[in-house]
Amino acid sequence: MALLERIREDVGSVLERDPAARSWLEVLLCYPGLWAVWTHRVSHRLWCLRLRLPARMLSQLGRFLTGVDIHPGALLGRRLFIDHAAGVVIGETAIVGSDVTIYQGVTLGGTGKGHGKRHPTVCDGVFIGNNANILGNITVGENSRVGAGSVVLTDVPPNSTVVGVPAHIVYRNGERVLITDPHDIKDPLSDALIALSTRVEELEERLGSAAGQSVPFAAEEAERSAYRVELDQLREYVSMGEGI
């Protein structure tokens, strides 16, 4: 694709997805996320030519100018939109598909010091909210959404919405996903929730068995009823303050 066509495509994608963008000139002059993507394309070309040091130097210059740190080894698809472009980090072996939207503070990072593929693969049409962290060699499926502040540590199926720390699925294929097993949340407090749920089930079973044998607290209720009747009878003969 010709250079001018690619520039036109990038600018058009920003105008389409950002309601604050009003003109081509404004996008060209005021969108550092777009500059970061263009800088990366040049640094990535140098990286592929094994000019590693110049590639890293150019990527660091782009980081200084835009606030976006994209390793020159990362693979970026077409029409990537990085909104606000502050604090975004994309690691060396990350793969980002086409028509992806990334907000400020997002990290596509690794989880260890191993070599090889250690960063995420983000498929086409994914939306990543601000300050989300997608870590490790995992895959975020097509047209999925990652909620703001989420920490994604496992694969995300296509057409899903994930939120939380760690992230769990709340919508899939447009339908709400109800979580009935606390293990599905993978939260540090899952064990406490499981213990509480087990205790509630035990108490419900005990109350149910007691109800089957006899009416709970029947004797106490009968005593209270008799006492109320006795008080009502006394009110007919005793008035407040009498006998003082």
pLDDT tens sequence across 103-128: 999 999 988 777 889 999 999 999 99
Burial readout 28-63 (b: 16 or more C-beta within 10 A, e: otherwise): eeebbbbbbbbbbeebbebbeeeeeeebbebbeebb
Average pLDDT over residues 55-64: 94
- C-alpha 139/C-alpha 32 separation (Å) is 27
Residue 81 forms part of a structural domain: yes
pTM for this predicted structure: 0.73
Residue 223 and residue 114 share a domain: no
Residue 31 and residue 72 share a domain: yes
The yes-or-no verdict on residue 222 having pLDDT over 80 is: no
Per-residue CA distances from 123 to 48, 97, 194 (Å): 22, 5, 34
Residue 203 and residue 170 share a domain: no
Residue 103 and residue 78 share a domain: yes
Q: Which residue has the tokens 């205790």?
A: 199
Q: What is the pLDDT of residue 180?
A: 63
Residue 142 and residue 60 share a domain: yes
Q: Do residues 104 and 84 lie in contact, with contact meaning Cβ atoms separated by under 8 Å?
A: yes
- More confident call, 218 vs 46: 46
Residue 118 and residue 196 share a domain: no
Torsion sign across C-alpha atoms 230, 232, 238, 241: positive
Range of the domain at 226: 190-235
The upper half-sphere exposure of residue 38, i.e. CA atoms within 13 Å in the direction of its Cβ, equals 16
Q: How many domains does the chain divide into?
A: 2
- More confident call, 131 vs 205: 131
- C-alpha 219/C-alpha 168 separation (Å) is 49
Residue 185 forms part of a structural domain: no
- More confident call, 105 vs 230: 105
Residue 97 forms part of a structural domain: yes
Residue 184 forms part of a structural domain: no
Residue 227 forms part of a structural domain: yes
Q: What is the pLDDT of residue 213?
A: 56
The upper half-sphere exposure of residue 198, i.e. CA atoms within 13 Å in the direction of its Cβ, equals 7
Here the CATH number for the domain that contains residue 101 is 2.160.10.10
Per-residue CA distances from 38 to 41, 133, 138, 153 (Å): 5, 23, 26, 29
Question: Of 178, 200, 224, which residue is a domain's last?
Answer: 178
Structure tokens at 9: 């495509």
Residue 244 forms part of a structural domain: no
Q: What is the pLDDT of residue 74?
A: 94
Residue 223 forms part of a structural domain: yes
Residue 130 and residue 12 share a domain: yes
pLDDT tens sequence across 1-15: 577 888 889 898 999
- C-alpha 140/C-alpha 134 separation (Å) is 9
